[in-house]
Amino acid sequence: MASTDTAVPHVLVLGGTSEARDLAARLAESMPWLRVTTSLAGRVARPRLPVGEVRVGGFGGPEGMARWLREQRVAALIDATHPFAGTISFSAAEAAAAVHVPLLALRRPGWVPSDGDRWTHADSLDDAARLLPGLGERVFLTTGRMGLASFAHLDALWFLVRSVDPPEPPHPPRMETVLDRGPFTLDGERELIRRHRVDVVVTKDSGAAATAPKLTAAREAGVPVLVVRRPATPDGVPVAPDPGSALEWVRERLG
Ligand SMILES: NC(=O)c1ccc[n+]([C@@H]2O[C@H](COP(=O)([O-])OP(=O)(O)OC[C@H]3O[C@@H](n4cnc5c(N)ncnc54)[C@H](OP(=O)(O)O)[C@@H]3O)[C@@H](O)[C@H]2O)c1
């Protein structure tokens, strides 16, 4: 039930990640007097919903978000979006500065290679597509359905594409799809790599534990991994590495 009491501090969490859901749950449990709204972009047909209020859809750029923050009397903003959701993070920084709302970025740390890993880094999905033909022929592509257009011209390679919702064209011509969402198990990842004779894995540097088993499975199988680096984030925004630290940040301001 939405609170209409303007004296109740209102926290907006920009979501679409497990950390955002975790934070919404922690806020509801530890600071039940708060009004907490999670914002989702609306990309996934049936998203996992957080506790608390939910709004869905873009704000209409930084101006739209600033208007929303003002109208909804938001007292603290947490950008808990995926590390690869680059646009919304800059919108949040601009909007928060415009209406003087404190902003925190909740960003899980990136992955670090271990002994035995065979990683190559790419600067973007287009860069990954450029590097891929030199690394393998049977590709496990785990970068989501939104970036498939970057790989659509690679007709000599075969792709196993994993995504939450079915991919739409443009996509690579030789492609099989696995519809699934994390968390994924190590045994499951080993089996996918073995059964499909995968000889290269492509991943974003998402840094999530839920999707890390593919890296272990690739290491064990001696399969190279093409890791796409994270996009830039706005300067000057404090960063919390996990939901517990973000909860403390909110408590310091509104507790
Ligand atoms: N990119 C990924 O790899 C990835 C992976 C897993 C989950 N996600 C989640 O999926 C969502 C969309 O990702 P993206 O890469 O398309 O983002 P993006 O490129 O940063 O954002 C594009 C536009 O989508 C809207 N938007 C994005 N996140 C929103 C949110 N949480 N609430 C309301 N509007 C939002 C904004 O529209 P307006 O300008 O109109 O406000 C934004 O300008 C994010 O919330 C992210 O957490 C992304």
pLDDT at 151: 98
Residue whose CA lies nearest to ligand 1 atom number 13: 85
- List helix spans (H) across the chain: 18-30, 61-71, 86-99, 125-131, 186-195, 213-221, 243-254
Residue whose CA lies nearest to ligand 1 atom number 3: 84
d(CA 16, CA 36) in angstroms, rounded, equals 15
d(CA 103, CA 92) in angstroms, rounded, equals 8
With the most atoms of ligand 1 within 8 angstroms of its CB, the residue from 87, 145, 180 to mutate is: 87
For residue 138, pLDDT over 60 is answered with yes
For residue 250, pLDDT over 90 is answered with yes
For residue 208, pLDDT over 50 is answered with yes
The confidence band for 1, taking pLDDT boundaries of 50, 70 and 90, is very low
Q: What is the mean pLDDT of residues 124-152?
A: 96
Q: What is the mean pLDDT of residues 15-26?
A: 97
Interval 77-100: pLDDT, tens: 999 999 999 899 999 999 999 999
d(CA 19, CA 208) in angstroms, rounded, equals 9
Q: Average pLDDT of the chain? A: 95
Distance 85 CA to ligand 1 centre (A): 5
Please indicate whether residue 60, judged by its CB atom, sits closer than 6 Å to ligand 1.
yes
pLDDT at 95: 98
Residue whose CA lies nearest to ligand 1 atom number 6: 82
d(CA 212, CA 111) in angstroms, rounded, equals 8
Query: Which is it for strands 119-122 and 175-179: parallel, antiparallel or unpaired?
Result: unpaired
With the most atoms of ligand 1 within 8 angstroms of its CB, the residue from 81, 125, 145 to mutate is: 81
Place of tokens 């996990």: 242
Tokens found for residue 51: 């506790």
Taking CA 242 as the corner, what is the angle to CA 227 and CA 3, rounded to the nearest 5 degrees? 125
Residue whose CA lies nearest to ligand 1 atom number 37: 58
d(CA 127, CA 26) in angstroms, rounded, equals 38
Cα dihedral 139→144→148→154 (10° resolution): -10
Distance 15 CA to ligand 1 centre (A): 8
pLDDT at 209: 83
pLDDT at 66: 98
Above pLDDT 70, what percent of the chain?
98
Full strand arrangement of the beta sheet holding 10-14: 53-56, 35-40, 10-14, 74-79, 103-106, 239-240
pLDDT at 224: 98
Q: What is the mean pLDDT of residues 35-40?
A: 98
For 24-53, b/e burial (b = at least 16 CB within 10 A) is bebbeeebeebbbbbbbbeeeeebeebebb
Please indicate whether residue 81, judged by its CB atom, sits closer than 6 Å to ligand 1.
yes
Tokens found for residue 42: 């609306």
For residue 114, pLDDT over 50 is answered with yes
Distance 204 CA to ligand 1 centre (A): 15
pLDDT at 105: 98
Distance 177 CA to ligand 1 centre (A): 23
140, with CB counted inside 10 A (0-12, 13-18, 19+), is buried
Tokens found for residue 199: 């000889």
Q: What is the mean pLDDT of residues 217-238?
A: 96
Atom number of ligand 1 nearest to Cα 80: 47
pLDDT at 255: 85
pLDDT at 70: 98
Residue whose CA lies nearest to ligand 1 atom number 45: 16
pLDDT at 196: 98
